[in-house]
């Protein structure tokens, strides 16, 4: 049965109270990273409007070299990335409704379908921030749900744009995303100021913990060093979105970012 907006408000209020009772316990990197490669945490990202074809190619070359989890690009670049990453360990990831989240749900859904047709294997969408802050929870939920449905099994990461949100709104957005079928909640676009913080990663992790680990956390924006990556991972990030992947790998303790 679908929820009314009042039902959502009630469920969100209860969820916020629940999450606020949980304590944040830092996650030991030794537990988190037993045999996984550090590079597989990274979504290697180039989302600038003036990204050239050769810069996109370079992004792919770096992703192949370091075995990053994905190359995260705008929809116009997905076909090129899918072609370049064929037979590599890295997958193409497309952003949708990016960076404002302010396009209609049908447009976000259409972008999603188009990107997947072009080869995207992951989708990062931005929520309808204005709707969230207007208390229009049905719209926020259905917006995410429409993209999840359009993605038809391809994982969807839901960008909250934490810089604009209070803690209660961050918890609400995580709840709506988790209920709508998101695979990840993600902190920021990197286009509106702010960036991933230990506090936000920890809060978002606690906010989706009720799903028993099926909803993961992506820390993104302003991650420029190996140490910051480790802070994010210890705070609970399962994935890191950064446009500094190559320099992070080059400056990591081993020079190759491995343990």
Q: By C-beta, is 197 or 242 nearer to ligand G3H?
A: 242
Catalytic residue at 186? yes
Query: What is the smallest separation between the CB atom of 220 and ligand G3H, expressed in angstroms?
Result: 4
By beta-carbon proximity to ligand G3H, the closer residue of 48 and 104 is: 48
Q: Which stretch binds ligand G3H (CB under 6 A): 20-28, 31-39, 172-180, 221-229?
A: 221-229
- From 126-134, 174-182, 216-224, 247-255, span contacting ligand G3H (CB under 6 A): 216-224
| Active-site residue, selected from the candidate residues 108, 186, 216, 228 | 186
CB of 128 to ligand G3H, least distance (A): 18
Residue 220 in contact with ligand G3H, rule: CB under 6 A: yes
Q: Does 242 bind ligand G3H (CB under 6 A)?
A: yes
Tell me which residue has its CB nearest to ligand G3H: 190
Contacting range for ligand G3H; rule: CB under 6 A; set: 31-39, 81-89, 148-156, 238-246 = 238-246
DSSP the chain: -PPPHHHHHHHHHHHHHHHHHSPP-PPPHHHH-SS--GGGGEEEEE--TT--HHHHHHHHHHHHHHT-SEEEE-GGGHHHHHHHHTTSS-EEEEEESTTT--S-HHHHHHHHHHHHHTT-SEEEEE--HHHHHTT-HHHHHHHHHHHHHHHTTSEEEEE--GGG--HHHHHHHHHHHHHTT-SEEE---SSSS----HHHHHHHHHHHGGGTTSSEEEEESS--SHHHHHHHHHHT-SEEEES-HHHHHHHSTTSSS--
Given candidates 39, 47, 56, 208, which one binds ligand G3H under the rule CB under 6 A?
47
Is 69 one of the catalytic residues? no
Q: For residues 89-118, which are near ligand G3H according to CB under 6 A?
A: none
User: Can you give the binding site for ligand G3H, defined by CB under 6 A?
Assistant: 45, 47, 72, 189-190, 220-223, 241-244
Which amino acids are annotated catalytic? 186, 218
């Amino acid at each position: 049965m679908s929820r009314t907006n009042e039902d959502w408000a009630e469920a969100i209020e209860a969820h916020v109270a629940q999450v606020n009772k949980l304590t944040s316990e830092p996650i030991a990197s030794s537990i988190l990273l037993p045999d996984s490669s550090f590079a597989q945490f990274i979504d290697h990202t180039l989302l600038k409007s003036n990204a050239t074809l050769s810069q996109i190619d370079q992004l792919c070359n770096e992703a192949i070299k370091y075995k990053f989890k994905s190359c995260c690009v705008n929809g116009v670049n997905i076909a090129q990335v899918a072609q370049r990453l064929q037979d590599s360990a890295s997958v193409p990831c497309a952003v949708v409704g990016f960076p404002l989240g302010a396009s209609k749900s049908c447009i976000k859904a259409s972008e999603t379908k188009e990107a997947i047709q072009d080869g995207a294997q992951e989708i990062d969408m931005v929520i309808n921030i204005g709707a969230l802050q207007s208390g229009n929870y049905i719209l926020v939920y259905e917006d995410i749900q429409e993209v999840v449905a359009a993605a038809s099994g391809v994982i969807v990461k839901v960008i909250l744009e934490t810089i604009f949100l209070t803690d209660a709104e961050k918890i609400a957005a995580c709840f709506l995303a988790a209920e709508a079928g998101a695979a990840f909640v993600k902190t920021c676009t990197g286009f509106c100021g702010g960036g991933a913080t230990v506090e936000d990663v920890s809060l978002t992790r606690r906010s989706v913990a009720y799903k028993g680990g099926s909803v993961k956390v992506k820390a993104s924006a302003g991650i420029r060093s190996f140490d910051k990556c480790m802070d994010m991972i210890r705070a609970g990030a399962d994935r890191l979105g950064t446009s500094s992947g190559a320099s992070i790998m080059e400056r990591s303790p081993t020079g190759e970012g491995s343990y």
